[in-house]
Amino acid sequence: MDELNHPPERAIEQEQSEILQQLEDWLELPMLVLSFIWLALFIVELIWGLSPLLNSLSITIWILFILDFGLEFALAPRKPVYLKQHWLTVLSLLLPALGILRLFKFLRAFRTIRAARRLRLLQVMTRTNRGMKALTASVSRRGFGYVVGLTAIVTLIGAAAMYTFERDVPESSLTDYGTALWWTAMIMTTLGADYFPKTPEGRVLCFGLALYAFAVFGYVTATLATFFVGRDAENPAAEVAGSKEIAALRSEIIALRKEVQTLLQQHEK
C-alpha cells in the first residue's frame, strides 16, 4: 500500500530531472546572452574600470545568475552531485560577493596587494570558465568554430588580466591594452614575445596561456592536415591515394585472384 500511495524515489528523481531540464531549456538563451554581457563587462572592468551604470548592470546580472543557480539547485534531484559538477560556477558567483573591487584600495593600504591579485587571478579563471560554458551552449558541436570562439575569449580575457597584473611594474612594456592584446596574441600563436611577466600572477597566467596555445596549435595542425588529406583523397592526381583509387585497386586484386584460382583449377584437371 505504501508503494501505491508514495511514488518511488526514482520516479521522483526522474520528474525533478525533467523539470530541471525544461527550466534549463527555457532559460538557456537569456542566460547565454547575459553570460556574454557579463564577460564583456569583466574585460572592461579589468582595463578601465566600470562606471556606476555598468557596475549596477554587472551586479544585476550577477544577482540573476544567483537566482538561476538557486532555482536549479532546488530542483536538482541529487544536490551533492549537482554541486560537484558546478563547483566552478559556485566559485564564480561567490567571488563578486567579496567586493574585490571595493576592497582593492583597502588591501593596497595594508600592503596585501598580492592577495588581491591572487583573488583577481582566480576571478579570471572562473569568468573564463563561465564564458566557455556559454560558448558550449551556443555552439552545438565542439568543432573548429568552437575552438576559434574559445581562443578569442581566452585571448581577450588573458590580455586584460595581463595588463592588470603588469601595468604597475616599472619595467613593464604592457602599458596599454592594445600592447597587452598583441603580446597575448603572440603567445597564443606560439611565436612568443620579447616581454617576460614580472609578477607571480602574470607568470602563472602566461604559463596557462602557453599551455592552452600548445594544445590548440596541435588541434589546428591536425584539423588542417585532415582537411588537406581529405582534398587529396578526392583528387585522383594527388600524391595521397584516394578512397576511390584504393577501392578500384582492391577490386582488381580480387579479380586477379579469381583468375589465378581458375587457371590453377584448369591446370589440375
pLDDT above 70 for 110: no
The winner for highest mean pLDDT among 14-23, 47-56, 131-140 is 47-56
| Rounded Cα gap, residues 243 and 246, in angstroms | 5
Q: Which grid coordinates belong to 52?
A: 556606476
Predicted structure pTM score: 0.67
Mean pLDDT of all residues in 17-23: 77
Confidence of residue 216 (pLDDT cuts 50, 70, 90): confident
Would you call 59 helix, strand, or coil by DSSP?
Answer: helix
- Bigger pLDDT: 83 or 98? 83
| Rounded Cα gap, residues 112 and 210, in angstroms | 28
CB 72 within 8 A of CB 20: yes
pLDDT above 60 for 133: yes
Confidence of residue 140 (pLDDT cuts 50, 70, 90): low
Mean pLDDT of all residues in 205-215: 87
Residue-level pLDDT at 107? 45
Confidence of residue 53 (pLDDT cuts 50, 70, 90): very high
Residue-level pLDDT at 232? 54
Residue-level pLDDT at 212? 86
- Alpha carbon of 132 to those of 44, 70, 199: distances in Å? 18, 21, 26
Residue-level pLDDT at 113? 54
pLDDT per position as a tens digit, 141-165: 556 777 888 888 889 988 998 998 8
Confidence of residue 109 (pLDDT cuts 50, 70, 90): very low
- Residue-range domain boundaries for the chain: 1-110
